[in-house]
Amino acid sequence: MSNVIHIEEEENELLAKVEEISGETVTLCEQCGICTTSCPMAEEMDFTPAGIMHAVKLGDKNVLDSKAIWICASCFTCTVRCPRGIDLAKVTEALRQIHLRKNKDHVNLEEVKEEEQEENLPPIALVSALRKFTG
């Protein structure tokens, strides 16, 4: 019995797009999982950091609809620990940018306005959230 998996590189649009935007070579990932065990947000994620890398390598576009790419806060813990030297924070940034570059914001500005007034949010919180969640 033989199982043959055909991977045709030219079909993997997602990988090409992510590598272009991030400047990172996602295919270097060997799925060791250090990123996932290091991630302070992993428990909140539907795709783990290693899972995100795997999905991009396979061209699985479901990762674009994941909660995980938005919950990553670019803390760079995975980046400093990746034994393959991949800057994973740039990979999740690229995945967010694929949405944001189509002018699809990930935040409701009216709700933010109310919250800002109620809670005296610092400018640093507002500016960084809007930079990460709007195009």
Partner 1 sequence: MKLPYYPGCTLKKNAKNFEISAMAAAKHLGIELIELPRWNCCGAVSSLTSDDVMHHVAAIRNLVRVQQMNDDGILENEYRLIVLCSMCFNVLKRSNMLVTSNASMLNTINSFMDTEPDYEGTVEVKHFLEILRDEIGFERLKNAVRNPLKGLKISPYYGCTLLRPKEIGIDDAESPSIMENLIEALGGDVADNPYKSLCCGSYHTVGNAEVVAQRTYKIIEGARRNGADVIITSCPLCAFNLDNRQALTEKLYPGFKRMPILYFTQLMALAFGYEKEAGFDGNFINPIPLLEEKGLIGMKVQK
Tell whether residue 22 is a contact of partner 1 (CB under 8 A).
yes
The stretch among 5-13, 26-34, 53-61, 74-82 that binds partner 1 (CB under 8 A) is 74-82
Tell whether residue 32 is a contact of partner 1 (CB under 8 A).
no
Distances (CA, A) of 19 to 26, 72, 92, 101: 7, 18, 11, 16
Nearest to 106 by CA among 78, 129, 128, 88: 129
Size of the site for partner 1 (CB under 8 A): 40
Tell whether residue 119 is a contact of partner 1 (CB under 8 A).
yes
Q: Nearest 10 degrees: CA dihedral of 23, 69, 83, 58?
A: -80
CA 46 to chain centroid:
12
Joined tokens for residue 76: 């760079």
Tell whether residue 127 is a contact of partner 1 (CB under 8 A).
yes
Specify the residue, 16 or 41, whose C-beta has the smaller distance to partner 1: 41
Specify the residue, 16 or 112, whose C-beta has the smaller distance to partner 1: 112
d(CA 90, CA 52): 12
Q: Which positions lie near partner 1, rule CB under 8 A?
A: 20-23, 40-41, 44, 71, 73-77, 79-80, 87, 89-90, 93-94, 97, 107-108, 111-112, 115-116, 119-129, 131-132
